[in-house]
Structure 1
Amino acid sequence: MRNKKIKAVIPVIFILSMIFTTIVYADDWYEKEDGYYTIYDQTSNKVLCLIAAKVSQGDEYVSDDNKLYEVIKVKDKNHIAYAKYKEEIKLPEISSTKQEALALMAKQQNRIIGIYHTHSDESYVPTDGTSSINGKGGIYKVGDALTASLKKDGVQVIHRQELHLPHDAGAYRRSRPTNKKILQQAPAAVFDVHRDAIPSEQYDFKVNGKPATKVRIVLGQKNQNIEKNKNLAYKLKAVADEMYPGMIKDIYIGKGNYNQDMAPNSALLEIGTHENKREAAENTANVLGNVLTVAVFGGQKQVAAENGQPSKIVKNTEPAQTDNTGTSGGLLIVLGIAIVLGVGYLFISNSGKELRSKFGDKFSSFLGNRKK
Structure 2
Amino acid sequence: MKMIKYKNIMLLTVLLLLVTVDVKAENMYYNMVDDSGKIVYTTGWKVRIGDEFITEDNNRYQITSIQGQIAYVKLLEKKDVAQLSHFFVSNFADLLELQRVYAQDNKKIAIYHTHNDEAYVPSDGTESSDSGNGGIIKVGNVFSDALAKEGLEPIHVDTNHVPHDDMAYERSRRTVVQLLKQSPAAIFDIHRDATPPEAYQANINGEDITKIQLVVGKYGPTGKQIEEYALQMKAASDEQYPGLVKGIFFAKGGDYNQDLHPKSMLLEVGSHTNNREAAERGIAMFAAVVPSVIGVTSANNSNIEGKSGVGTPAAGISGSVKSIGWIILFFVIGTAVFLFLSTGSMREAKGKLSNFRRKEFANFWGKKYNKDKEK
Q: Tell me if structure 1 keeps the 8 A contact 2:150–2:298.
A: no
Q: CA deviation digits over 1:117-140, x for unaligned, max 9?
A: 011111111111111112210001
Alpha-carbon distance, 1:28 to partner: 2.1
Residue 303 of structure 2 corresponds to residue 280 of structure 1:
no
- SS of corresponding position for 1:276: coil
Alpha-carbon distance, 1:298 to partner: 4.5
Distance 1:57 1:120 in 2: 29
Which shows bigger deviation, 108-117 or 147-156? 108-117
Greater Rg by CA:
2
Any residues of structure 2 matched to 1:119-268 within 5 Å, and which?
119-134=115-130, 135-255=132-252, 256-268=254-266
Structure 1 residues 40, 230: CA separation in 2 closer, same or farther (over 3 Å shift)? Answer: same
Alpha-carbon distance, 1:163 to partner: 0.7
Structure 1 residues 238, 298: CA separation in 2 closer, same or farther (over 3 Å shift)? Answer: farther
Alpha-carbon distance, 1:162 to partner: 0.3
Q: Tell me if structure 2 keeps the 8 A contact 1:120–1:136.
A: yes
Residue 55 of structure 2 corresponds to residue 60 of structure 1:
no
Q: Tell me if structure 2 keeps the 8 A contact 1:199–1:275.
A: yes
Partner of residue 42, structure 2: 50
Q: Tell me if structure 2 keeps the 8 A contact 1:243–1:291.
A: yes
TM-score by length of 1: 0.69
Residue 102 of structure 2 corresponds to residue 109 of structure 1:
no
Residue 36 of structure 2 corresponds to residue 40 of structure 1:
no
Query: Unmatched 5+ residue regions in structure 1?
Result: 1-12, 97-102, 303-316, 318-372
- SS of corresponding position for 1:121: coil
Q: CA deviation digits over 1:71-125, x for unaligned, max 9?
A: 12223xx1221221111223132499xxxxxx99758431111111011111111
Partner of residue 61, structure 2: 69
- SS of corresponding position for 1:28: coil
Partner of residue 79, structure 1: 69
Alpha-carbon distance, 1:207 to partner: 3.4
Distance 1:176 1:124 in 2: 25
Query: Unmatched 5+ residue regions in structure 2?
Result: 1-10, 90-96, 301-318, 320-375
* Alignment-mate amino acid for residue 25 of structure 2: E
Structure 1 residues 215, 163: CA separation in 2 closer, same or farther (over 3 Å shift)? Answer: same
Distance 1:262 1:93 in 2: 25
Q: 1:28 aligns with which of 22, 30, 36?
A: 22
Q: Tell me if structure 2 keeps the 8 A contact 1:124–1:131.
A: yes
Q: CA deviation digits over 1:44-78, x for unaligned, max 9?
A: 22212121121012211101111111112223xx1
Q: How many residue pairs end up in the alignment?
A: 277
Alpha-carbon distance, 1:300 to partner: 6.5
Q: Tell me if structure 1 keeps the 8 A contact 2:151–2:299.
A: no
Task: Identify which of structures 1 and 2 has the higher relative contact order when contacts are C-alpha pairs closer than 8 Å and 6+ apart.
Answer: 1
Distance 2:264 2:118 in 1: 20
Distance 2:156 2:297 in 1: 23
Structure 1 residues 252, 229: CA separation in 2 closer, same or farther (over 3 Å shift)? Answer: same
Partner of residue 297, structure 1: 295
Alpha-carbon distance, 1:301 to partner: 7.0
Alpha-carbon distance, 1:257 to partner: 1.5
Runs of 4+ aligned structure 1 residues displaced above 3 Å come to: 103-108, 298-302
- SS of corresponding position for 2:288: helix
Distance 2:226 2:30 in 1: 24
Distance 2:202 2:286 in 1: 13
Alpha-carbon distance, 1:30 to partner: 2.1
Q: Tell me if structure 2 keeps the 8 A contact 1:61–1:69.
A: yes
Partner of residue 324, structure 2: none
Alpha-carbon distance, 1:158 to partner: 1.4
Q: RMSD between aligned alpha carbons?
A: 2.8
* Alignment-mate amino acid for residue 137 of structure 1: G
Distance 2:64 2:262 in 1: 28
Alpha-carbon distance, 1:159 to partner: 0.9
Partner of residue 352, structure 2: none
Alpha-carbon distance, 1:287 to partner: 1.8
Residue 78 of structure 2 corresponds to residue 88 of structure 1:
yes
